[in-house]
Amino acid sequence: MDLQILRHSTAHIMAQAVCALYPGTKLGIGPAIEEGFYYDFDLPSPISPEDLPEIEAKMEEIIHADLPFEKQVMAKDEARKFFQERNEIYKVELLDEIEDETVTLYQQGEFIDLCRGPHVENTGVIKTFKLISIAGAYWRGNKKNPMLTRIYGTCFETKQELDNYLFRLEEAKRRDHRKIGKELKLFDIYEEVGPGLIYYHPKGAIIREEICTFLRKEHTKRDYFEVITPHIARIDLWQTSGHCDYYKDNMYFMEVDENPYVLKPMNCPGHILIYKSQTRSYKELPLRYFELGTVYRYERSGVLHGLLRVRGFTQDDAHIFCRPDQLKDEICKVIEFASSMLTTFGFKEYDIYLSTRPEKYVGTEDIWNEATLALATALENKGLKYTIDEGEGVFYGPKIDIKLKDALGRAWQGPTIQVDFNLPQRFNVTYVGADGNECQPVMIHRVVLGSLERFLGALLEHYAGAFPVWLCPIQVMIMTIADRHIPYARQIEEQLLEKGVRVKLDSRNEKVGFKIREAETLHKVPYMLIIGDKEVEAEKVSVRKRGNRDSGQLSLKEVTDNLIKEIKEKIC
């Protein structure tokens, strides 16, 4: 059975139940979505999540009544009159936008709705469903319109499928990076500063810096040159790049000395200026510039979401200037680079999308076709499966989007690779060819992790805060059983610090069981070293790993060697 049809039919059943329970309700829309369905209502009085069981019970009655879904074809004018009489103002608005002379309505029992369909044969086909949550939603997504009540739900063909989904939903709540970030004291967003702007606390800064250090090392290995560019630039730069024409709704404008400036939304124009600072020869190419560049983009407050959707973020951004004959190899190298990075961080699966020309774009169709073909050819040469994402390219070029999958199988935006023939043309970027003539290079825009904020959010939810040792803010917690064990514990602490291990000593007068539970739950510490009389006498430590795994007594050298190996090899 088609799951979309099943879910859309369940949305109609929910709407029938709501209308029966809350007379005077006006109907919005109720589509099937990726993981279920929703319906928007203009209710006569507010409802809360505590009201969902009552709606579910009413839905069960409708399902047990086995009501047929009956299709009716009606003239648009007649349908308009029909819904006007019922004061269904939102349906009338939808009808006014339909160009066809006739429309379809679907009826089950006394409930009738404007709908293209199709639906299941009758309400009794629905076997298992669940209402999930309530949210506010502006009609048609426009904040100038009334705020409606949106009820989300889901349904599946079997109870087992529903139970599995509900388990994943609860697990996702447990892994919410905003909740974990607060518990681990990693980052914060302050109301007095403004939404979408991240403040990293000491532990969060450690994780972020570990990622940045690793990124720098990996880029250096692959012949990238790190650059740094300012956060603001004159508006002229963004007019030349095309951002003012195609991206202005996402940009912040300001005035400096009575001149218009822009808070940079992208790093690429700055890298172009560095490239153009001197004459380039074909022998220098490919030239790869890398920057951990912080950019600022306007996002509506309603879509901001912890680390995942912010207004200020840092990208592992790079731009490759290459000859046309080098393009395919460079794309392949970036794909390999991105794949190795995701694997290192513990992401084993991902989906690949090839995003094509959008409605608003710069350049010619021929240039876009050439760039798109280069990306597709590279993917095919690497033997990678991909899906065409029609019209989702950026305004200056097509792109490859790699969406990594976490421990729950959820997709997260990660690496992107964009081929750009347009900015080199707009900025008159050239190199001297083998024949002495000026030639135009191709530009590749790419990130191998993406936004550091979004990537850290994905990492938090993937590992539920229990990071691999190399990323943990506290890698080892030393715990003493009594005060007499503190001097020996301090010796161990000093030796581990000398080896570069992030270690903390817990010498509080608390039971060791309490200390272990706190280290595991509050700090997610991967290694705990417990010191009592036996350990001091044997000059060893008792080792406990995160997850109730006791490793017995070991010498400090054994512990250190294991730790250093795990950190160096970035074992996940």
| Residues catalogued as catalytic | 268, 297, 315, 317, 319, 399, 445
The per-residue b/e assignment along 232-271, b for 16 or more CB within 10 angstroms, e otherwise, is ebebebbeebbbbebbeeebeeeeeeeeebbbbbbbbbbb
CA atoms of 244 and 167, how far apart (whole Å): 46
3-state secondary structure 490-528: HHHHHHHHHCCCCEEEECCCCCHHHHHHHHHHCCCCCEE
CA atoms of 138 and 239, how far apart (whole Å): 34
Q: CA separation (Å) from 51 to 78, 427, 555?
A: 35, 59, 60
Determine the 3-state secondary structure of 461 from DSSP: helix
Phi, psi of 310 (to 5 degrees): -130, 175
Indicate the angle between helix axes 452-463 and 202-221, nearest 10 degrees: 110
Phi, psi of 309 (to 5 degrees): -135, 105
CA atoms of 118 and 285, how far apart (whole Å): 57
Determine the 3-state secondary structure of 530 from DSSP: strand
CA 146 to chain centroid, in Å, comes to 29
CA atoms of 30 and 4, how far apart (whole Å): 12
DSSP assignment, residue 386? -
CA atoms of 215 and 451, how far apart (whole Å): 13
Structure tokens at 186: 């990693």
Phi, psi of 403 (to 5 degrees): -105, 110
Q: Is the peptide bond before 260 cis (omega within 30 degrees of 0)?
A: no
Strands (E), 383-489: 387-389, 399-405, 411-420, 431-432, 438-439, 442-451, 476-480
With 0-12 CB in 10 A as exposed, 13-18 as middle and 19+ as buried, what is 522?
A: exposed
